[in-house]
Amino acid sequence: MLKRVVLVLGFLSIFSVSNAQHEAAASAEAQHSTEATNPLSEKEKSLEEVNEFKQHHILDSHSFNIMVEKKADGTEHHIGFPLPVIFYDKANGLHTAMSSVFDHDQVFASKGGYYKLFHEKILKTDAAGNITMDEHHHATNEKVLDLSITKSALMIILTALLMIWIFGSMARNYKKSLVPTGIGKLMEPMVLFVRDEIAKPNIGHNYKKYMSYLLTVFFFILFLNIFGLMPFGINVTGNIAITLALALITFVITQVTANKNYWQHIFWMPGVPVPMKLVMLPIEVLGLFIKPFSLLIRLFANMSAGHLIIMSLIGLIYVFKNVIAGVAFPFLTFVLYLLEVLVAFLQAYIFTMLSAVYFGMANEEHGHEGEEGEIAH
């Protein structure tokens, strides 16, 4: 049962990426509209470019851009490769293509419909590709059900394949010998760390049935965090849809595997006077949802903040354009980058640790036979 829940929700987490759209891009459109009436200074233009650079780095994308070359005439040349675009339109059914069909603001014509990629959202348009905006500069065109393999979804798939290859090879080696070889020498200490320092102390004797999930989520977050340190705009764990899916998996496993004592402590706290039970009931029920919420926000906020700070420091080099900025900001960026390496491991540890704590709370055995007597006494 546990494995089925993890498998189903894992697939949901992949496809949830494509539906995590970027509302921050709408404000950028409003800023562009004001530039025509209020010309910006050179420093203000540099700050505007830095802000756009940061937004594009932390947000998801329908294509995998490794780098962008800005030419003297102001045009941009994107170096990368397209990704599969899959979306469903009620009127015209399922559509498949490569993201290159949307390059250079092109209109994609398919099955009698016209579609355009606007701030990483696929919108239904007319043949000319017109986008209508409301007073808040939000597009009002009809949206489609986007199931595309975006950059984040691609990294999730590649990370899953990498983990299958690593741990599959370790399993094959252990069948021959209990002495780890190759990459197993690096991975075995971390596996033992998760078991001995996270699972056993927090869950207790029932830890084995949770080990597969704890190991999976630890290395999944760790690998994605490390990939996020590469200069390719990979920010999967800084996508709130991904952290939400991971938190939901922890939440569902906790509730599905909980024993009766867990539910008793939530809905009718033993050893407590009845009036206090009525007071504690809504607090405990609220706590059920606060725990996964804190999980998703903690991982999302920490990883996004690190990326934004590093991108801001790099961007300030091009804003100030002097020797001091050229020396100070790269040094600060290097220091923070080293700190981000620590944060990558730390956030994987914290998420796994808190998941184990919640599992332990759901399986904790309580002896309350004497509690009510002690309180009455």
One-character DSSP codes across 160-195: HHHHHHHHHHHHHHHHH-SS--TTHHHHHHHHHHII
* Residue 43 clears pLDDT 80, i.e. is over it: no
Residue 21's pLDDT is 41
Q: Which amino acid is present at 129?
A: G
pLDDT digits 0-9 by tens, 95-129: 999 988 888 888 999 888 899 988 888 999 988 88
Select from 223, 214, 281, 222 the least CA-distant residue to 254: 214
Residue indicated by tokens 């080990």: 211
Tell me the percentage of the chain whose pLDDT exceeds 70: 79
* Residue 90 clears pLDDT 70, i.e. is over it: yes
One-character DSSP codes across 54-86: HHHHHS--SEEEEEEEEPTTS-EEEEEEE-EEE
For the residues 70-91, what does the mean pLDDT come to? 80
Q: Which of 14-18, 172-176, 323-327, 369-373 has the highest mean pLDDT?
A: 172-176
Residue 367's pLDDT is 55
Residue 352's pLDDT is 96
Residue 41's pLDDT is 67
Residue 10's pLDDT is 47
Lowest model confidence (mean pLDDT) among 35-39, 53-57, 222-226, 233-237: 35-39
- Name the more confident of 356 and 238: 356
Mean of all residue pLDDT scores within the chain: 80
For the residues 179-186, what does the mean pLDDT come to? 85
* Residue 91 clears pLDDT 60, i.e. is over it: yes
Q: Are 41 and 292 in contact (CB under 8 A)?
A: no
Domain extents in the chain = 69-149, 152-369
The conformation of residue 294, written as its DSSP 8-state character, comes to H
Q: Are 55 and 24 in contact (CB under 8 A)?
A: yes
* Residue 132 clears pLDDT 80, i.e. is over it: yes
* Residue 74 clears pLDDT 60, i.e. is over it: yes
pLDDT digits 0-9 by tens, 274-306: 888 888 888 888 888 999 999 999 999 988 888
Which residues, at least 6 apart from 162, have a Cβ–Cβ distance to it below 8 Å?
223
Residue 16's pLDDT is 44
Neighbours of 86 (CB within 10 A): 17
Neighbours of 297 (CB within 10 A): 14
* Residue 347 clears pLDDT 80, i.e. is over it: yes
For the residues 323-335, what does the mean pLDDT come to? 80
Residue 304's pLDDT is 85
Tell me the percentage of the chain whose pLDDT exceeds 90: 31
Both tokens of 318, joined, read 């091009």
pLDDT digits 0-9 by tens, 272-282: 788 888 888 88
pLDDT digits 0-9 by tens, 360-374: 988 887 654 444 433
Residue 243's pLDDT is 93
- Name the more confident of 248 and 262: 248
Residue indicated by tokens 């200069």: 231
The dihedral over CA atoms of 210, 211, 216, 221, expressed in degrees to the nearest 10, equals 90
The conformation of residue 107, written as its DSSP 8-state character, comes to P
* Residue 1 clears pLDDT 80, i.e. is over it: no
Select from 120, 90, 89 the least CA-distant residue to 102: 120
What are 84's strand-pairing partners?
98
Residue 39's pLDDT is 58
Q: Which amino acid is present at 257?
A: T
